[in-house]
């Protein structure tokens, strides 16, 4: 699944570790989502949407990479 | 979701704490297992009560280790849990298939190795370690 995590993170000048701390997940999980290796659960996708103040579909696109 | 830095640090701290606790329980379980295995004959002679007591303590500490493992899984995030699920599935599958195949090979005299519970546990341990390492590399 495509996503805009890297762009949104860069806009805030956050590292993967910064985002991981806010989401209470590991940095590896942020990296795996960002690179499309792992699709987050719905609760985690909602948490991401809240963190960035966007709707889920503004962050994730269900077209394959 | 963490709203301040101290809440946010809790996830990492919980993970470390639960892993250390699991390591402690595992070490204690191994120690009690060694006591139950080597105590009769090495530390005491002909005492069924002491032997049964040592086995009982080993089972109780084993239950503690299982609960610590459960808490460790609960402290993980969803990707870590998914990785653990895959690794445990591989370990169980390899143990079952490999264990039974090795037993058959030994029974029919095709291998000269002794195949028992100790060898099976060691094999499953190697598969689990390899799977954990591969999972770590995949998502590093």
| Nearest Cα residue in chain A from B140 | A28
pLDDT of B77? 94
User: Model pTM?
Assistant: 0.82
- Flag whether pLDDT at B2 surpasses 60: no
Cβ count near B77 (within 10 Å): 20
Give me A55's structure tokens.
């709707």
Residues of A in contact with B80 (CB under 8 A): 26, 28-29
Q: Which helix (H) or strand (E) holds B111?
A: none
> Phi and psi (nearest 5°) for A63?
-70, 140
CB contact under 8 A, B1 and A32: no
Over residues B16-40, the mean pLDDT reads 96
- Flag whether pLDDT at B44 surpasses 70: yes
Query: Which single residue is written with the structure tokens 């239950």?
Result: B63
pLDDT of B3? 52
pLDDT of B63? 98
Over residues B49-60, the pLDDT tens digits come to: 999 999 999 999
pLDDT of B9? 66
- Per-residue pLDDT of chain A (65 residues), as tens digits, is 899 999 999 999 999 999 999 999 999 999 999 999 999 999 999 999 999 999 999 999 987 66
Q: In b/e form, how buried is each residue of B20-55, taking b as 16+ CB within 10 angstroms? A: ebbeebbebbeebbebbeebbeeeeeeeeebbeebb
């Amino acid at each position: 699944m495509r996503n805009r995590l890297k762009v949104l993170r860069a806009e805030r000048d956050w590292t993967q570790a910064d985002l991981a701390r806010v989401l209470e997940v590991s940095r590896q999980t942020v990296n795996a989502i960002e690179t499309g290796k792992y699709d987050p659960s719905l609760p985690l996708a909602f948490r991401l949407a809240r963190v960035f103040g966007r709707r889920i579909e503004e962050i994730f696109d269900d077209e394959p990479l | 979701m963490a709203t301040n830095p101290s809440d946010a640090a809790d996830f990492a701290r919980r993970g470390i704490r639960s892993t250390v606790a699991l390591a402690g329980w595992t070490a204690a379980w191994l120690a009690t297992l060694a006591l139950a295995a080597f105590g009769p004959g090495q530390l005491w002679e002909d005492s069924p009560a002491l032997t049964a007591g040592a086995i009982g303590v080993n089972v109780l500490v084993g239950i503690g280790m299982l609960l610590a493992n459960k808490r460790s899984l609960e402290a993980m995030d969803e990707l870590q849990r998914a990785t653990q699920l895959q690794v445990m599935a591989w370990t169980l599958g390899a143990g079952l298939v490999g264990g039974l195949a090795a037993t058959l090979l030994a029974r029919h005299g095709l291998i000269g190795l002794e195949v028992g519970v100790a060898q099976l546990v060691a094999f499953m341990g190697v598969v689990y370690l390899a799977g954990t390492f591969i999972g770590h590399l995949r998502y590093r």
